[in-house]
Amino acid sequence: MSKQIPQNQGIGMTSDRTRDRLIKRLKEQGIRSNLVLDQIRNIPRHLFVDEALATRAYEDTALPIGLGQTISQPFIVAKMTEALINSVDGDRILEVGTGCGYQTAILSSFFKEIYTIERIRSLLLKTKQRLRTMNIYNVHFRHGDGWEGWSKYGLYNGIIVAAAASELPSNLLEQLDIGGVLIIPIGAPGEQELTLVKRNHDHYESKNLGSVSFVPLVKEK
Ligand code: SAH
């Protein structure tokens, strides 16, 4: 990626060598897209976690970010991003579950407009600032309930959900453009499946992308 992201120069466990190790691991696990791998190398994941955890930021693991939430595992972010760029034709993306904004930052260089929703306001405000300091400006933030989506700016070419839903959210299906795809973990803890749903002219088709483990997509009502 050509975009310069300030890195707050990493040393030791946040260095280039540590990042290369992560990229090698992602390749071994089946991530093929060099665009995605380059973007994972370019985005400083250590700036998305507390300083105390910075030395673990380039391990391929989810980490706590406070308020009972986590930063997603790099492999899962890579897999979802790869699936999205391989199947989406268009530039308008809705993300549900902003969290610390790591996935948002990864997506930001692949799509023109990213709309992102988070239910925890304090997390959202911190993330908004973080992405600004990284010179990422094509993200629109909403404090709200992801089950409802964000109809004002739809239809979307792609919708990506970073929390597991008990069932397919009908509002998100409705906010998909024809030809658009929704990538979402579905199921109860311990039995979640990453699901890709494509909206065709007269029907939706879905595909299973494998087992995953996400925090729940909270139902407010
Ligand atoms: N995308 C993040 C991971 C986020 S974890 C990353 O890149 O690391 C999932 C996030 O979904 C949490 O921040 C949680 O607060 C949020 N969330 C859970 N239920 C939600 C809902 N109904 N609406 C919006 N956000 C929700």
What is the tens place of the pLDDT at every residue in 57-73? 999 999 999 888 899 99
Model pLDDT, residue 7: 67
To test the ligand 1 pocket, which listed residue (215, 219, 220, 221) has its Cβ within 8 A of the most ligand atoms?
A: 215
Ligand 1 atom nearest the C-alpha of 117 is: 24
User: Shortest CA distance to 183 belongs to which of 82, 46, 112?
Assistant: 82
Does residue 123's CB lie within 6 angstroms of at least one atom of ligand 1? yes
166/129 Cα distance (integer angstroms): 31
Residue 107, CA distances (Å) to 1, 15, 65, 73, 93 in order = 12, 22, 20, 15, 9
Overall average pLDDT of the 106-132 stretch = 97
Span from the CA of 202 to the centroid of ligand 1 (angstroms): 31
Position 111 scores a pLDDT of: 97
Domain covering 62-211 in this structure, CATH number? 3.40.50.150
Give the tens place of pLDDT for each residue, 80-117.
Answer: 999 999 999 999 999 999 999 999 999 999 999 999 99
Contact 142, 52 (CB under 8 A): no
The more confidently predicted of residues 63 and 15 is: 63
Q: Is the CB of 147 under 6 A from ligand 1?
A: yes
Q: Give yes or no for residue 96 CB within 6 A of ligand 1.
A: yes
Query: Who contacts 73 (Cβ-Cβ below 8 Å, separation ≥6)?
Result: 60, 61, 62
Q: Do the Cβ atoms of 67 and 124 come closer than 8 Å? A: no
Question: What confidence tens digit (pLDDT) does each residue in 142-194 have?
Answer: 999 999 999 999 999 999 999 999 999 999 999 999 999 999 999 998 999 99
Global pTM exceeds 0.75: yes
Nearest to 168 by CA among 210, 220, 205, 114: 205
Pocket test for ligand 1, best of 81, 122, 143, 218 (most atoms within 8 A of CB): 218
Average pLDDT, the chain: 93
Asked whether the CA dihedral 156, 139, 107, 54 is positive or negative, the reply is negative
Q: In the chain, where are the structural domains located? A: 62-211
Pick from 147, 129, 139, 146: nearest CA to 93:
139
